[in-house]
Structure 1
């Protein structure tokens, strides 16, 4: 039964890919390929890696585009480890080290539980900084974007 289901799924995927390639404006020819926002590439060839994104140096605080936006990181985070045991961000941004390092202190909200209880260390739900805070790179957008900042922040 499993083989039958797998065979049906394989036929369906093949047929879907065939129909899609027939309908596409610029079909991918050859031994099959993948088309994504970064362009088309053959399955059996390795596409060259994109150039590393450039991060402007010393750009200071980056303005927010909407209310409650987590602050953007104004520097590269290459080789920063943020894991269960280590958080490189806290070596500069913790309340203990921020003044000495000349970095922005993390918000007091990062020391609170969901119920509002204040902790002596960063809350586990706020420990993985890179889930919300991202570096702002000088990179070309993958898709057109007509986003407008909130009027109050302009």
Structure 2
């Protein structure tokens, strides 16, 4: 009985392949197990991987904005910056009391308001995690062509 079921299953599989336009060689390739490789590249967990060179972006001047409410781009690398609920590396330079010394742009007054408009003494929790809105700028070429144009008032 099991041989009959196997034969029937093989016949059904062949019919499905023919109906879908696949030949048996393609089906065998599709059924082959996929080899997955982790980010460690096969290095055992007990060994360290050699560090890979990382392209560091140089500091840029502030970039022009492309639309009116666009958050400013970050004109420097932020690799290794820590932003947790207890510490925000960005505030080492961008906090109001530190901008004279650092030369960095002050955090906008909008970041000190709650959603109800109440002004706070410190950054609002909803604006505390800078990289939710602000991203580092880069000179990378677009991956996909597009017809985007800046807002007319900013051209």
TM-score norm. by structure 2 comes to 0.65
More strand by share: 1
Indicate the residue corresponding to 1:135 in structure 2.
136
Structure 2 unaligned residues grouped into runs of 5+: 1-15, 23-28, 42-51
Indicate the residue corresponding to 2:123 in structure 1: 122
- For the residues of structure 2 that align with 1:59 and 1:125, how far apart are their CA atoms? 27
Please report how far the alpha carbon of residue 44 of structure 1 lies from its aligned counterpart in structure 2 after TM superposition: 2.8
Q: In structure 1, what is the Cα distance between the partners aligned to 2:37 and 2:152?
A: 47
Q: Deviations over 1:102-136 (max 9, x none)?
A: 00001001011111111110000100000000001
Post-superposition offset of 1:74:
0.3
Unaligned runs of 5+ in 1: 1-14, 23-28, 34-42
What displacement does 1:138 show? Answer: 2.4
C-alpha RMSD of the superposition:
2.8
Which residue pairs with 2:62 in the alignment? 61
Correspondence 1:34-53 to 2 at 5 A: 43-45=35-37, 52-53=54-55
CA distance in 2, matches of 1:139, 1:51: 18
Q: Hey, what does 1:80 align to over in structure 2?
A: 81
Structure with more of its chain in helix, by fraction: 2
When normalised by structure 1's length, the TM-score is 0.66
Contact residue 81 and residue 89 of structure 2 kept, 8 A:
yes
Of residues 139-148 and 111-120 in structure 1, the stretch that sits farther from structure 2 once superposed is: 139-148
Higher-Rg member (1/2)? 2
Contact 2:59 2:77 in 1 (8 A): no
The answer to whether the Cα contact below 8 Å between 1:53 and 1:138 also exists between their aligned partners in 2 is no
Across the two proteins, how many residue pairs are aligned to each other?
118
